[in-house]
Structure 1
Amino acid sequence: MATRFSLCLHIIITSLCSTVYSSDISCRNEDGEPVDWFIIYKLPKYKIGEVGSGVDYMYLDSSAGSWQMSKFMVNTSQGAIGSTLNQLYTGKAYKSNSSVYGLYNDAPPILDYIQGYGHTKGLLLFDRSQGFWLSHTIPHFPSFPERGYLYPSSGKVNGQTALCVTYQYEQFLRIAKQMAYIYPRFYNCSVPAAFLVDLPQLAQLCEGTKPTLASDKRVEQLFSTQGDKFVSFVKSEHFVDGADTLSSQDSEAYEHTPYPRPSEVLPAPKLMQCLLVTLVTFYGLSVDSCRAVIFPILIVSFVEKMGHFYN
């Protein structure tokens, strides 16, 4: 009898431990299981010679060897993004004082557009153990927690991307400092009192206040739960780069555009390696103006030949 009781107790404890592990806040893969990181590319609706659904997407994660076409659609709560966000929506984490969350988007759902915020979109959800940072390009997304998972019609026409990385708690202290520089528009967030000492910048941002910055730019190395390194480059609105990487003609032309100079946004010199990028042309100027950068940028394709990519 004692042996049977001991066996039952061992099974119960093992089951509880497994439950706690699987319930840790993290990015989720296509099957809803924890994953270190994933990348999604939602295909544009209009492609060369065909019209798609606008909600199909390709998927890649830390355990997959190559890109794969998802069997799900991005406008359903199934799949990687839906499973990841459901930790906030169905888990009711937004009502908990033991976790921090923040939804930010310069074009938030329902609300009117307000100038002055960084052109950035994403979601943070974490507790004292770990959590995830989802960075994406989708306007009017994600929806408010009370409404559950909803994918906006405005995110169907153009191609969209999303990167989700699972981090341990201490990494979010660094991420919060990066957030202060990009000044995202948090339209729904919560930083419980127990986290205020560790996350003063994030608390300020949730209140709509700009934190004081030590400089006009910042670079931070972040490590996922499995040890993969991600480098975060951020700059404030006060960052001004020199024009030495541009020709005099291009430099003058950039003064009349709302876009940053190429040397402001290309991390190749910092990483000390070449980068593959897509050639983007705007106002008659091209990324080729970066030709003087020490570490060259390799032009691989034209955006206009591949459909509509970004908003």
Structure 2
Amino acid sequence: MAAALGRLLLAALLGDPAAALPCYGDSGRPVDWFVIYKLPAHSGAGEAARSGLRYKYLDADSGGWRDGVGPISSSAGAVGRSLQPLYRSNASQLAFLLYNDQPPKAGGAPDASSRGHSKGVLLLDPNGGFWLVHSVPHFPPPSSSAAYSWPQSSQMYGQTLLCVSFPFRQFQDIGRQLTYIYPLVYDHKLDEPFAQEFPYLAAVAKGQHVHLKGCNSSVTLASQKGTPFWSFAKSKDFGDDLYSGWLAAALGNTLQVQFWPNSRGILPSNCSGAQQVLDVTQTAFPGPAGPAFNATEDHSKWCVAPAGPWACVGDMNRNLGELHRGGGTVCAQLPALWKAFQPLVKAWEPCREPSRA
């Protein structure tokens, strides 16, 4: 009852828009969810490919990966169109949180090493909104910017972005997940009615987080169309790898994990448990035109169960430093998502043989 009254108060105070803020697809129409795979530079022919602005697009109705409608820097594509409300002057009915452990214009920002290794956007109005989970440093521009843009620093390497449209009530659960992750919020707007409705989001905006040893949290979220997604979030005190220390067992599946292998202290493939966690070393899109590339060219963060049915997109690597940082991933059992990601794995690192005395 209290939540319902809060929503009515919120609508009365902020107006009653005709529809929630959705993820927009490459078609220019609202979609329940989409995934963008920004390809590494020089991964194909054409200026967009050479400059690192080419991408592949996937949603529930795309029939698999499609070429993006243009460069990812364009506001006409799925990412730019979805984020466009951030850069409008009449944004009084919006609430948003932009978080990134490598924020734009990082000078003067708090030390990110104690914050979650996490990147994302929450954008909502009184009817709902979306959660964009991504791997892109220095992105997106703050709301004070003149328009949407793509950072030059994130053109060279591959990146992934998952956008899911959610009804209004789900943002309390999303906010609770973020309190575990402890993200670095570099821009936000959470007026009092929104802050009252979503105390966890208000806490995240203030830089608050949980302080329980070994704590982690998973929650099932229902999209605007009722599609189930599972959010997995760990705190900096969890003290273990997200994938081999929790996710593989939670999903009951071996996982092939794509992550940034150019950082220090990379964790090798792990076959110590009932479910293996295998580091992806090469990715290849189906078809004669590919493209194919090595993990060293790819900053994206995703994993897939080779035998199905799980696929996840998130913002965490497998390295020693991130054992003690918050972070997470969003998973689904959608055939369209699994069938798109499962064939991408071209090669992976086998588990090392145990030493013999």
Per the normalisation by structure 1, the TM-score is 0.77
**Residue aligned with 1:145, SS:** coil
Whether 1:166 and 2:162 are equivalent positions in the alignment is no
Matched letter for residue 33 of structure 2: W
Distance (Å, rounded) in 1 between the aligned partners of 2:196 and 2:188: 17
Amino acid at match of 1:101: F
Which residue in 1 is equivalent to 2:203?
Answer: 204
Tell me the distance in 1 between the aligned counterparts of 2:199 and 2:215.
19
Change (3 A) 1:274 1:211: closer
Q: What's the counterpart of residue 50 of structure 2?
A: 52
Does the Cα contact within 8 Å between 2:100 and 2:119 map onto a contact in 1?
yes
Question: What is the CA distance between 1:293 and its match in structure 2?
Answer: 1.9
Question: Partner letter of residue 176 of structure 2?
Answer: K
2:95 pairs with 1:100: yes
In structure 2, how many angstroms separate the alpha carbons of the residues matched to 1:145 and 1:273?
Answer: 40
Distance 1:215 1:222, change over 3 A: farther
Mapped pair 1:135 → 2:133: yes
Residues 185 and 168 (structure 1), Cα distance of their counterparts in 2 relative to 1, 3 Å cut: same
For each residue in 1:172-205, what CA deviation from the matched residue of structure 2 results, as whole angstroms up to 9, or x when unmatched? 1100000001111111102111122332221122
Number of matched pairs: 269
1:38 CA displacement: 0.3
Answer yes or no: is the 8 Å Cα contact 1:182–1:234 preserved in 2.
Answer: yes
Q: Secondary structure at the match of 1:162?
A: strand
Structure 1 residues 65-74 or 293-302, which shifts more? 293-302
In the alignment, which of 128, 135, 144 is matched to residue 142 of structure 2?
144
Q: Is the 8 A contact 1:44 1:307 kept in 2?
A: no
Percent identical residues:
35
Greater C-alpha Rg? 1
Task: State the 1:145 CA deviation.
Answer: 1.3
Q: Which residue of structure 1 aligns with residue 87 of structure 2?
A: 89
The residue that corresponds to 2:39 in the other structure is 43
Q: Does 1:32 align with 2:28?
A: yes
Following the alignment from structure 1 to structure 2, what is the Cα–Cα distance between the partners of residues 215 and 201? 20
Contact 2:234-2:242 within 8 A present in 1 as well = no
SS at match of 1:109: coil
Aligned-residue CA RMSD in angstroms?
Answer: 2.8
Change (3 A) 1:119 1:284: closer
Partner of 2:349: none
Q: Distance in 2 between matches of 1:271 and 1:84?
A: 30
Which whole-Å CA distance do the structure 1 matches of 2:23 and 2:159 have between them? 18
Paired amino acid for 1:123: V
The residue that corresponds to 1:68 in the other structure is 66
The residue identity in structure 2 corresponding to 1:25 is L
CA contact (8 A) 1:189 1:206 kept: yes
Equivalent position SS for 2:40: coil
Preserved contact between residue 36 and residue 56 of structure 2 (Cα < 8 Å): yes
CA shift, 1:310, in A, is 0.8
Q: 2:220: which partner in 1?
A: 221
SS in 2 for 1:202: helix
Deviation per CA, 1:219-259: give whole Å up to 9, x if none: 11111111221111111111134xxxxxxxxxxxxxxxxxx
Counterpart mapping for 1:232-311 below 5 A: 232-241=231-240, 260=241, 263-264=244-245, 267-278=247-258, 287-288=268-269, 290-297=270-277, 301-302=281-282, 305=294, 308-310=297-299
Residue-by-residue CA offset, 1:249-306 (whole Å, 9 max, x unaligned): xxxxxxxxxxx47523x51211123333348767686542x21221234666447735
Q: Which structure shows the bigger proportion of residues in helix conformation?
A: 1
- Alignment check: 8 A CA contact 2:257 2:280 kept: yes
The CA distance in 2 between the partners of 1:294 and 1:139, in whole Å, is: 34
Instruction: Determine helix, strand or coil for the equivalent of 1:110.
Output: coil
Partner Cα separation in structure 2 for residue 233 and residue 69 of structure 1: 30
- Cα distance in 2, alignment partners of residues 221 and 193 from structure 1: 27
Change (3 A) 1:280 1:122: closer
Corresponding residue number in structure 2 for 1:7 = none
Q: Does 1:124 align with 2:122?
A: yes
- The one-letter amino acid of 1:124's match is L
**Residues 126 and 297 of structure 1, relative CA distance in 2, 3 Å threshold:** same
Q: Distance in 1 between matches of 2:185 and 2:254?
A: 34
Describe the shift of the 1:279–1:202 C-alpha distance in structure 2 as closer, same or farther (beyond 3 A). closer
